[in-house]
A and B are shown apart, each in its own frame.
Chain A
Amino acid sequence: MVLFLQQMINGLSVGSIYALIALGYTMVYGIIRLINFAHGEIMMVGAYIAFILAVNTSLPFILILLISMVLSAVIGVLVERVAYKPLRKAPRISVLITAIGVSFFLQNLALVIFKADPKIMPELIEKKPIAIGPLQVGTVTVTTLALSIVFMIALDLFVKRTKPGKAMRAVSEDKDAAVLMGIHVNKTISLTFAIGSALGALGGVLYGITYTQVFPTLGVLPGLKAFIAAVLGGIGLIPGAVLGGFVIGMIETITKAYLSSQWSDAIVFGLLIIVLIVKPTGILGKNEKEKV
């Protein structure tokens, strides 16, 4: 029982990383209906930035994290400006293929700069077990979970309470109507990329710390799983991304612990297929007709 609870906490922690990354997918999809396949690479970039800072400076962890998030946000916005914005009126498939191109570009850029061999991520969070009742939980697990939840709450407040947050929701619902309100749509799209990328970088840094490595294809698998999480929860929906992330993290951890570590990915992907057959719009998605 204790072991099971411990696995649950691990699952929540891994899930919170997927949730952070899934938020970027879902927010960008919500606002420009694009599956941003380069999002996993933003995560990787965030992890490398933290790695560089950790190796070359003695900045405290939280500062390293924030710098990585801010720089990744800038890179995310640049990617949108350079690669996606010129295609705003192009068919969706063109933008999708461009996103895949950006993804390869960033991966290969990392390969050129850092080489293929994984770098060891310095111990940014001091590793020791914390006792929660009878449970022994690692500091990394607890910090990951805590930081993710703090930023998710912050995002929720931002989107529900602030003017730019509400403008973001307005733009994702109806761009023309938002323009008529005086909302600068391109700025709002940039803001969405900035926030999504910052959360992705947070996920990347935490992922790098959890698995103690940074490498050019670091974003590929978690990016894919986070994308599945976003679809599973209902793409375009912020609570859906969080729910999907936690569900996938839990399932993955539990199957790894009790069934087989080889099968866990297959089970996660299988789950996606089943959910999409039963409910194509995802767990929280409403069956509304898509507006043209």
Chain B
Amino acid sequence: MLKVKNIDVFYDKIHAIKDVSFNVSPGEVVTLIGANGAGKTTILKTISKLLEPTNGVVLFEDEPLNKLLPHQLVYLGMAHVPEGRRVFSRMTVKENLEMGAFIRKDKAGLKADYDQVFSYFPRLKERINQPSGTLSGGEQQMLAIGRAMISKPKLLLLDEPSMGLAPLLVKEIFNIVETIKKQGTTILLVEQNANQALQVADRAYVLETGRIINSGDAKVLLEDDSVKRAYLGG
């Protein structure tokens, strides 16, 4: 479904991503784990074309993305929940979801998808007319995920959905990730919370200062000594 081939990404002279390749197959949950500044967000932004790679190519369903404009990716079936939620804070919850549905033309199907988002996150329905800037951090994360899901993506990119949330909410968010997976959406999950991420994921890549240094079955990596030491607190 998604193939990232030998990409290099620079911020001016900073070589943030060095020859990174990986792939995600349909129906999989793949996680990219790594410490602060490893380059996880940079990779997701490159996939979404918010950044351009200097070398290498990203393919979505075997179509190279270099010729496309960034806003066209949603139409292909890609949705990106950015780091830090990035909800439109001056707009209401409803309006944020409407922006998520910006590309949707099928009114009938849309209704069902709103209902589904509200079944994941009943809290959003209660706060439907509230400006989203006044939501709590956890609620904003729910909104950011709901806003992405309303576009009915085939591939969901999630950038640290658990960041800054209380343990109970982290659990709730990961349960939703589980549910989204069961319903057949492919997920690329970026996390610092390696433990939780490896538990929901099928496969994982470990990123360190812009390079992939390890990869494999998520359950195997969960038991891997070097991974344990570096990312799971012993």
Contact = CB atoms under 8 A, between A and B. Distances in A.
A275 B177 CA distance: 49
A182 B102 contact: yes
A181 B74 contact: yes
Contacts of B69: 184
A183 B99 contact: yes
A169 B72 CA distance: 19
B88 A180 contact: no
Nearest to B151: A182
B86 interface: yes
B71 A177 contact: no
Interface string B54-71: 000000000000000111
Interface string B119-148: 000000000000000000000000000011
Identify which of B48, B50, B99 gathers the most chain A CB atoms within 10 Å of its CB. Answer: B99
Nearest to B78: A180
A53 interface: no
Interface residues of A, number: 17
Contacts of A185: 71
Contacts of B52: none
Contact of A166 (B86, B91, B103): B91
A173 B98 contact: no
Interface residues of B, number: 27
A167 B98 CA distance: 10
A176 B71 contact: no
B50 A183 contact: no
B91 A170 contact: yes
B88 A183 contact: no
Given A169-B91, A170-B91, A184 B71 contact: yes
A163 interface: yes
Interface of A: 163, 166-167, 169-170, 173-174, 176-185
Interface of B: 48, 50, 69-75, 79-80, 82, 86-91, 95, 98-100, 102-103, 147-148, 151
21 contacts: A163-B98, A166-B91, A166-B95, A169-B95, A170-B88, A170-B99, A173-B90, A179-B50, A179-B70, A180-B50, A180-B82, A181-B74, A181-B100, A181-B102, A181-B147, A182-B71, A182-B72, A182-B103, A183-B71, A184-B69, A185-B71
The 6 closest A-B pairs by CB, nearest first: A182-B74, A182-B103, A177-B86, A181-B99, A181-B102, A179-B70
